[in-house]
Amino acid sequence: MTLFEKIAAGQIPAQIVDRTPDWIAFHDIQPQAPVHVLIVPIRPIARVGAALPEDAGVLGQLLLAVGQVARKLGVDQSGFRVVINHGQDGGETVPHLHLHLLAGRPLSWPPG
């Protein structure tokens, strides 16, 4: 099981923001902004580039979840960034697709 599967199963504690049968959102333990939430599909997909056509529904749910979580945390009006890392050079550290929602301060460009 991946770290995120264990969090979704309740085996590892997390500050959960929201959850549906398809995804879970929780605060990152090493936040890079005042608001840093991970949105993770319950059913693991290794990474965005490994998604298959049959994953289209959950991929859409993850993008819709971003807005829902941003509204719940009150950062939908001020703005936020969504990041998906893929592979070692992309900064991926857990082989389970996840979206980073970053907010709560002005975010510079380009990132890192």
- For residue 31 the two structure tokens come to 């936040």
pLDDT along the chain (112 residues), means of 10: 95 98 97 98 96 97 98 97 95 94 95 74
Q: Is residue 112 a part of any domain in this protein? A: no
Q: Is residue 110 a part of any domain in this protein? A: no
Sheet hosting strand 80-83, strand order edge to edge: 16-19, 23-27, 35-41, 99-103, 80-83
Q: In this structure, are residues 87 and 95 in contact, taking their beta carbons and an 8 Å threshold?
A: no
Distance, in Å, from the CA atom of 25 to the CA atom of 17, rounded to the nearest integer, reads: 5
Q: Is residue 32 a part of any domain in this protein? A: yes
Q: Is residue 52 a part of any domain in this protein? A: yes
CATH number, domain of 87, equals 3.30.428.10
Instruction: Answer yes or no: 98 catalytic.
Output: yes
pLDDT at 111: 81
Number of H helices, E strands in the chain: 2, 5
pLDDT at 100: 98
pLDDT at 14: 98
pLDDT at 86: 95
Q: Is residue 99 a part of any domain in this protein? A: yes
| Annotated active-site residue in 27, 96, 98, 100 | 98
Range of the domain at 53: 3-103
Q: In this structure, are residues 8 and 42 in contact, taking their beta carbons and an 8 Å threshold?
A: yes
pLDDT at 49: 95
Q: Is residue 36 a part of any domain in this protein? A: yes
Q: Is residue 44 a part of any domain in this protein? A: yes
Residue in the block written with tokens 């998906």 = 84
pLDDT at 87: 92
Q: How many distinct structural domains can be found in the chain?
A: 1
pLDDT at 32: 95
Q: Is residue 111 a part of any domain in this protein? A: no
